[in-house]
A and B are shown apart, each in its own frame.
Chain A
Amino acid sequence: MRVFFGIYLLVVFVPLSTIAVWAFVDRWPWPNLLPSALSTRGLAEIFNGHAPIGGVLARSILIAVAVSVLCIVIASLSARALVFYEFLGKDLFRFATILPFIVPAAVFAMGIQVAFLRVGLGGTMLGVIIAHTVVALPYAIGIMTDVMAAAGPRLEEQSRVLGASRRQTLVHVTVPSLLPGILASASMAYIVSFSQYFLTLLVGGGSMKTFAVVMFPFLSSGDRTIAASYSLVFLVSTFAVFLLFEWILKKLGMRETRSLFL
């Protein structure tokens, strides 16, 4: 089993390291096993070239953060409704929460594009945020439902019985007990938003370029060093945000109970 896990880790890391190597390749002619010249040309090009990436990166992060915040709020409320309450149309609501998983994102994107243009959301940051939230929400709701079902209503009831007010219960009991789940859904929503290419392209039009949109054309053709540099920046920036989330979790004293994601 250890051997299996080892091989698996190798399968995870070999592709990632090829990306990391290619980002610094200057020349790598066939059939050499190793690059014949290395340089930081790719990274220099994307940060200081014709179209510096800094602003786009900042915008993408802003959008993704907004999406995760929206997702946490909506997902917490929806999960609460799904786990603790019975209401008319609950099954329908449950089905609606997984619908964006089932209907292809491309269908949603092409359908919503014209509608957004008509109400003036096309090509705006708000439009992109709303569209991303729709596709990221099912993941967040899924995680929050699991976490809430596992936590159960007992702790809250205890706290109310012991005389805490609704607000005190919320701040001191409910939120802390759900915090790992909240951060897990936040980072999932962040990732979904940050890597969303197609939907962003259609809803954001030419004006709302995000990192994933700018990166895509380089992947399909052209300079592999540039493409790999974009990918490397992508990996590093998502990982940095992930570490930030982990750090928040640790700061708030949630160690080892339930790590982010798992």
Chain B
Amino acid sequence: MLLALLFAYGVLNGILQGFGIMPYLGLTTPTLEYYTEALTRSDLISSILFSLYVAAASSVLATMGGVTLSAVITRLRVGRTGRLASVQIPIMTAHTVVALSVISLFSGSGLLARVLNSIGVIGSQADFPTVVGSSQGWAIILVYLWKEIPFVAFSTFAIMGSISDRFSEAASSLGASPLRTFFAVTVPLSSPAIAKSFLIVFAFAFGSYEVPLLLGSTLPRALPVLAYIEYSSPELLDRAHAMALNGIMSFITLILAWLYLRIIQRERRGR
């Protein structure tokens, strides 16, 4: 509870700074100036769109992949070592480490480019398509997929396992194919867990800073990167700009969270 308060205080403090209230700089009058400046900057819309696009692509693909992986693990009755290798090791690996391996695989001088060069598909490093630092965010999405597919599988595995134990026999004795059973029984029953992990992945991919900083393009920049650049500027007043960007960022995620809660509640009532 105390930590929740602390968290709220941190966020609130940030929001207040966005309105220009920074007692340590002698500023106490609230102003909308920083928000107006943040909202009217030319690169804001493209940053928001870029972050939303990366988050949406990562979370949709990761959820589909994670649910599939979870189903495959359940069905194949993968043993401990298999689960360790397929789910636990990726969860243990830091995002930044994955980013490094994406660089060493997919950059212009990366392993894939070398392989393509040796079989004569491309002639030089410049022929290799831009993956790292591309304005399409390929490399960022790759990192999130590698990390979050196992995470989704981890979050849905337990519930899907118990559902398939209980219901799949009933469904198949009633003549349903395994695929049909999966989509008609297992997925709907585990949808709260799936929805929750989807939201977590989306919010994480939208708001985290490390991966887009390492792998992103300079134009457009991801929203958190934009905020950090303002925050770390030697001009202390720029912090207010950063906080205004943070405020916008939180606002977007809070709307999404509200939508999510609405969906969950409707589902509960529906049962």
Contact = CB atoms under 8 A, between A and B. Distances in A.
Interface of A: 1-2, 4-5, 8-9, 11-16, 18-19, 22, 30-33, 74, 93, 95-112, 114-115, 118, 130, 133-134, 137, 142, 146, 150, 188, 191, 194-195, 197-198, 212, 215-216, 219-220, 224, 227-228, 231, 234-235, 238-239, 242, 256, 259-262
B13 interface: yes
Contacts of A96: 4, 7-8
B100 A102 contact: no
Nearest to B213: A220
B109 A30 contact: yes
Contacts of A103: 7, 11, 203, 207, 250, 253-254
Interface in B131-156: 146, 150, 154-155
A31 B203 contact: no
A12 B90 contact: yes
13 contacts: A1-B75, A2-B76, A4-B68, A15-B98, A101-B200, A103-B7, A104-B208, A104-B246, A108-B10, A110-B227, A111-B15, A112-B10, A114-B24
B88 A111 contact: no
Contacts of B82: 5, 9
Given A212-B94, A242-B88, A15 B105 contact: yes
Q: Say whether chain A's binding surface is mostly helix, strand, loop, or mixed.
A: helix
A112 B101 CA distance: 32
Contact of A219 (B93, B99, B200): B99
B89 A16 contact: yes
Given A18-B101, A191-B92, A99 B6 contact: no
A107 B249 contact: yes
Nearest to B214: A220
A1 to B, nearest CB: 5
B97 A106 contact: no
Interface stretch (B32-40, B112-120, B169-177): B112-120
B111 interface: yes
Contact of A1 (B72, B89, B199, B207): B72
Contacts of B88: 242, 260-262
Contacts of B13: 111-112, 114-115
